[in-house]
Amino acid sequence: MRVAFAGLGVMGYPMAGYLAKAGHEVTVYNRTTEKAERWAQEFRGALSSTPGKAASDAEIVFACVGNDDDVREVILGDDGILASIPEGGIIVDHTTASAIVAREVAAAAAGKNVGFLDAPLSGGQAGAENGQLTIMVGGDEDTFERARPVMDAYAKAITLIGPVGHGQMAKMVNQICIAGVVQGLAEALNFAKRAELDVPKVIEAISKGAAQSWQMENRWETMAADQFDFGFAVEWMRKDLGIAIEESEKNGANLEMTKLVDGFYAEVQELGGNRWDTSSLIARLEN
Amino acid sequence: MRVAFAGLGVMGYPMAGYLAKAGHEVTVYNRTTEKAERWAQEFRGALSSTPGKAASDAEIVFACVGNDDDVREVILGDDGILASIPEGGIIVDHTTASAIVAREVAAAAAGKNVGFLDAPLSGGQAGAENGQLTIMVGGDEDTFERARPVMDAYAKAITLIGPVGHGQMAKMVNQICIAGVVQGLAEALNFAKRAELDVPKVIEAISKGAAQSWQMENRWETMAADQFDFGFAVEWMRKDLGIAIEESEKNGANLEMTKLVDGFYAEVQELGGNRWDTSSLIARLEN
């Protein structure tokens, strides 16, 4: 299938690569051209100088960019995807963005007989590099069923949650859970250290029961060692939590702890942790 | 082996039963005699009218009571275990209590050449009934090795964390983790409901990734349905968090979120949730 991919960041670069390896004809666009050139060379694909040119003969166009404004620019801009994608095509947005921008873009696309899916990712950089991402999708079922086999190239699980915007909302649910889990784990490990406990033994004892979590299994060791130079960056987590908090002001959800943790992440940024992994919440407890 | 068990609550009753089924000669004590009589009949064991009498010819005496004061009374009281247990014996306290009372009791026991282990449990009522508890132990290695084969009767995992008090501290680490996980999950599910998402699909999508937890797997469905009439009660969770918070004032750990969640549990109590499961944190968000 002819596809295009806009946004070759740490996620998009390997994802577009998996599309090429799956046999699709892939044209990429990236704001920094050098990266697109490197990608085109590595995966023997094509590149374009604007998202619109990349999309001009594609059946499905993927975007994976930074935030709401980037989504608007790359999809709705003058040289954007929607200006050029052939009628009947599909735009899949893998960016974690607001449900509002998802609905806005979907409406504009519908006006041109183009399908739209909001399809934020979880699984992080490692998931993208291993082609094992989890994708939460909002959109209609027909569009979903057409795009799903293509996304299979880089996913281990793809779930249609509901109508447009619900992929983004599901991602927010995910991030709210993580905020609570990581802060609890951070306070617990900080407590364990201050009480001079044998941390590996404590984790051994509690890691199979009611306190268990993915974060405990995969992050306790680096957290206990104050290693944060990897993973999903604090600045991206703050962007996501900001979207969730903004949304909660509309739907009336009470995100009291989430707001507290968002403030803690701001403190981590002040410690120099803008690019640290999300698990770095423990850093502010150790000062 | 001749053993005694003081405290036949929802945990102690089945635990003492497993000791009897494992072939030990068990004498039980319970504040409410009727329960001890029922136990003695069900498991063909003996009962005594005071903890001291129950302990008078036992090699190992287990206690599983309510709080620090109960531990002091049942072990250190005039008719308590330590007044009668033969020299060379071991007292194992399965109560979740403070590290302070653990050290206090251990010192008194050492003065009479009696070993002591603080050995709080996790796994809840179901774990006790299935003989599948997790036990976090504080004490010396010799005492631990002598008591371990007996505790095997009702445990799936027994870990010596460190010296006396460290079993209790490990339990606090466990409860701090749970406070964060459950509050995050509560806010996330509340958000999902208010956003009118298909909650089972959201959970399906996020339950294998970085947001995963035992609480998500085992509690999302009852939380989403506002069912809390089971499990580990809010009043016991508040007791445990209170111990953790008190301890943190001594060791300097920062339990900011834990304190917030403790206050949320107090609100749940005001809603009538004193006996509700720990997952009932979501109840206060839905009012």
Residue from A98, A117, A132, A183 whose CB has the most chain B CBs within 10 Å, to mutate: A183
Q: Is this model's pTM higher than 0.90 or not? A: yes
B chain contacts of residue A253, beta-carbon cutoff 8 Å:
187, 190-191, 194-195, 285
Q: Dihedrals φ, ψ of A128, to 5°?
A: -70, -45
All CATH 1.10.1040.10 domain ranges of chain A, comma separated, are 169-285
- The answer to whether the CB of B261 falls within 8 A of the CB of B180 is yes
Could you tell me which residues come within 8 angstroms of residue A38 by beta carbon, excluding any fewer than 6 positions away? none
| Cα nearest neighbour of A193 on chain B | B253
All CATH 3.40.50.720 domain ranges of chain B, comma separated, are 2-162
HSE (CB half, 13 Å, CA atoms) of A51?
Answer: 28
A chain contacts of residue B214, beta-carbon cutoff 8 Å:
209-213
pLDDT of residue A286: 86
Task: Return the CA Rg of chain A.
Answer: 20
| Cβ-defined contact of B180 to A176 (cutoff 8 Å) | no
pLDDT of residue A117: 98
Q: Is B263 helix (H, G, I), strand (E, B) or coil?
A: helix
CA A69 vs CA A74, A79, A194, B133: distances in Å = 9, 15, 44, 52
d(CA A187, CA B180): 9
Confidence of residue A30 (pLDDT cuts 50, 70, 90): very high
For residue A120 the two structure tokens come to 């934020």
d(CA B143, CA B89): 9
Q: Does domain B169-285 have CATH number 1.10.540.10?
A: no
pLDDT mean over A21-36: 97
ipTM above 0.90, yes or no: yes
Reported as a single tens digit per residue, the pLDDT across A203-219 is 999 998 999 999 999 99
The residue length of chain A stands at 287
CATH domain B2-162 topology: Rossmann fold (3.40.50)
- pLDDT at A97 exceeding the cut of 80: yes
CA B266 vs CA B215, B236, B271, B280, B281: distances in Å = 20, 12, 9, 11, 10
- CA torsion through residues A215, A219, A223, A224, sign: positive
Of A124, A169, A185, the CB nearest to B177: A185
- The answer to whether the CB of A57 falls within 8 A of the CB of A25 is no
Q: Are strands B25-29 and B60-63 parallel, antiparallel or unpaired?
A: unpaired
pLDDT of residue B255: 98
- The answer to whether the CB of B29 falls within 8 A of the CB of B35 is no
Angle at A280 between CA A274 and CA A281, to 5 degrees: 105
Q: Which of A53, A112, A171, A193 is catalytic?
A: A171
- pLDDT at B287 exceeding the cut of 90: no
pLDDT, chain A, mean: 97
Confidence of residue B263 (pLDDT cuts 50, 70, 90): very high
Residue type, B237: M
d(CA B87, CA B81): 12
- The answer to whether the CB of B169 falls within 8 A of the CB of B99 is yes
CA B1 vs CA A245, B22, B25: distances in Å = 59, 10, 6
CA B184 vs CA A8, A177, A179, B282: distances in Å = 32, 4, 6, 10
CB within 8 Å of chain B, chain A residues 96-125: 99, 122-124
Q: Is A274 helix (H, G, I), strand (E, B) or coil?
A: coil
CB distance from A255 to chain B under 8 Å?
yes
Of B157, B170, B260, the CB nearest to A260: B260
Q: Dihedrals φ, ψ of A82, to 5°?
A: -70, -25
Confidence of residue B286 (pLDDT cuts 50, 70, 90): confident
pLDDT mean over B240-269: 97
